[in-house]
Chains A and B, each alone.
Chain A
Amino acid sequence: MKKEDTVKLISSEGFEFVVDKEAAIVSQTIHNMLTSPGSFAERQHGEVTFPEISTTILEKICQYFYWHLQFASGKETEFSIEPELTLELMMAANYLHT
């Protein structure tokens, strides 16, 4: 596990989540940020800030990324979502194309 293989996702409150790039690119939006040629600053620094995603939501999204990888490799478990997070998760998931 090398630093270059990770990306740091930063919430609106400045909390940081260091995740594998392989997990983060479950989001098409993050995938585009990290792979498009040249222009995004995110690619150079390995950091992505989400001014409109709160900490609790961003952590749940990161957990989903890893659950998705586990599920894709055959480990079928349930992903639990607290009802009060549902609405914001829908909005964030829409933005992240996840």
Chain B
Amino acid sequence: MDMYIRVKRSKTTYFIRCKPSDKILDIKQKLQELIDQPAINQRLILPDTGEVLEDSKTLADQRVENDAVVALTLRKDENEFEEVNIVRPNDFYQARDADGANWWYDEIHNCSGNIFKRLIKCRVNDVLVCIILNLLP
């Protein structure tokens, strides 16, 4: 496989394997298999720009690259499609207890070296694990 894209609608993401030379209609036909909606009822949109992708053009034509996110909207009636709706998770920085692990971050700024060090401590199965990451700005 050459590449894949992530097609998102609401809380669902479809990973679609494809090639840069695939047309948008090809993508819709693959999606048709997964979502039981004919290509004519699908609209694919670049969520950042709102640009609607054209069936007859290729992914490369429309600068859709590997791992890109594309929004899927479905037809509501003869003349109208749904609005883009991609639900975003809010779990990114939340601490959580999983498998009894508790963790926190300490950031240490080393002025002389201008290096951020991110120190991660966690307890997994009663073993204290320390991980030091160096991030060079």
Residues on A close to B: CB < 8 A?
1-3, 6, 11-20, 23, 52, 54-56, 59, 62-63, 66, 69-70, 73, 75, 83-84, 86-88, 91, 95
> Shortest Cβ distance from B117 into chain A, in angstroms?
11
Q: B-side binding surface: helix, strand, loop or mixed?
A: strand
Of the candidates A54, A75, A88, which one forms a contact with B89 in the assembled complex, judged by CB atoms under 8 Å apart? Answer: A54
Q: Do B11 and A15 touch (CB < 8 A)? A: yes
With A66-B15, A86-B120 as contacts: A54 and B91 at CB distance below 8 Å: yes
Chain B residues numbered 1-53 whose CB sits less than 8 Å from any CB in chain A: 1-4, 11-17, 30, 33-34
Of the candidates A20, A23, A55, which one forms a contact with B91 in the assembled complex, judged by CB atoms under 8 Å apart? Answer: A55
Which A residue's beta carbon lies closest to that of B67?
Answer: A63
Q: Do B30 and A1 touch (CB < 8 A)? A: yes
28 pairs, CB–CB < 8 Å, chain A vs chain B: A1-B16, A1-B34, A2-B33, A3-B34, A14-B11, A15-B12, A16-B11, A16-B12, A18-B12, A18-B13, A18-B34, A19-B15, A20-B15, A23-B15, A54-B91, A54-B94, A56-B89, A69-B1, A70-B3, A70-B66, A83-B118, A83-B133, A84-B92, A84-B105, A86-B120, A87-B120, A91-B98, A91-B124
